Amino acid sequence: MNILFFGTKKYDREFFEKKLPEYPQLNITFIEANLSPQTATLAAGYKAICAFVNSDIGEQTIEILQKVGVKLILMRCSGFNNVDLEKAKQAGITVVHVPRYSPQAVAEHAMALALIANRRIHKAYIKCRENDFALSGLMGVNFYGKTAGIVGTGQIGRAMAEICRGFGMRVLGYDEYKTESKIIEYVDLETLLSQSDLISLHCPLTEKTYHIICKDTIEKMKDGVVLVNTSRGGLVDTDDLIAGIREEKFFAVGLDVYEEENESVYEDLSDSILQNSTIARLLSFPNVVVTSHQGFFTSEALEAISDITLKNALDFAGGKITNAVN
């Protein structure tokens, strides 16, 4: 089966090429161009395409993929909110994803963001590079003995809960689908918001969870709360978040994702003027740390993503559908 990989970086090719000898039935072509309505015609002659979280796989893209004969969309990630699943179903295109690769990779990054933002490590690093060893502006708070609130207790959320427990924290959890846990104390969302000193988001982006963090929910939080989001930018209403930061509702904020993520994510724009007002405003605050959607980015996770994606493709070629989302 011929597969066209869109939006590939050096690290994508490196990890997938390591696995390819195990899958001689698959013929893969890597291109740097990302999937969008403007590039979808490049898939002509391919039965399957592979895309990532920053691809535009809306109605227009899928219509073009259908016309050129694509039957399978392989998402080399767990999220698929950027895919018009209903349109893909109508077009007879199967969409599969990688439901789990390394929950610990994302959870560890979430805690790293919480610690960096809380202890102002990003500021301390810059100060020390300038031979400024004063401690002003660097005071943090202990996590030990505090309460962590985990919104979304899937595999990543549970991994984060274990890390928080290891820090000596009480762990509250909110999820429509509760999982048996000796660590997590399940409560309703309002209770979690009002009692948590650290809130970490690990739920998928759906109609129900869109802007789950907004003016109303922020008002229910403790003053001086630490907020971390390593899931999807749309979970947080950025304007309301910024208002909360300015009103000093938040002691610290760590974001690996944010609203207005677009084709610029994963690109080097160091020589460009930022066109994104969201990221510019967030970066202006001393108690906010932003990273570039890198929570998944460990060698263990990339190895698992490569293996599961290729297995999904091989199963489809053999008439079996694994990890379908539509």
Q: List, by residue number, the catalytic residues.
A: 232, 261, 293
Q: Give the DSSP letter string of 171-228.
A: EEEE-SS----SSEEE--HHHHHHH-SEEEE-----TTTTTSBSHHHHHTSPTTEEEE
Q: What is the DSSP letter of 271?
A: T
Q: Rounded to whole angstroms, how far apart are CA atoms 231 and 229?
A: 6
Give burial (CB, 10 Å; 0-12/13-18/19+) of 273: exposed
Q: Which residues pair with 5 in a beta bridge?
A: 30, 50
Residue 278 DSSP SS3: helix
Q: Which residues contact 242 (CB under 8 A, 6 or more apart)?
A: 281, 282
Which pair of structure tokens corresponds to residue 87?
Answer: 């349109």
Which pair of structure tokens corresponds to residue 275?
Answer: 């066109």
Which pair of structure tokens corresponds to residue 291?
Answer: 């990273």
Which pair of structure tokens corresponds to residue 126?
Answer: 């810059």
Q: One-letter amino acid identity for 135?
A: L
Which pair of structure tokens corresponds to residue 120?
Answer: 């102002």
Question: Is the separation of the CB atoms in 231 and 257 below 8 Å?
Answer: yes
Question: Is the separation of the CB atoms in 113 and 122 below 8 Å?
Answer: no
Give which of 79, 86, 97 is closest to 323, Cα–Cα: 97
Q: Rounded to whole angstroms, how far apart are CA atoms 8 and 115?
A: 31
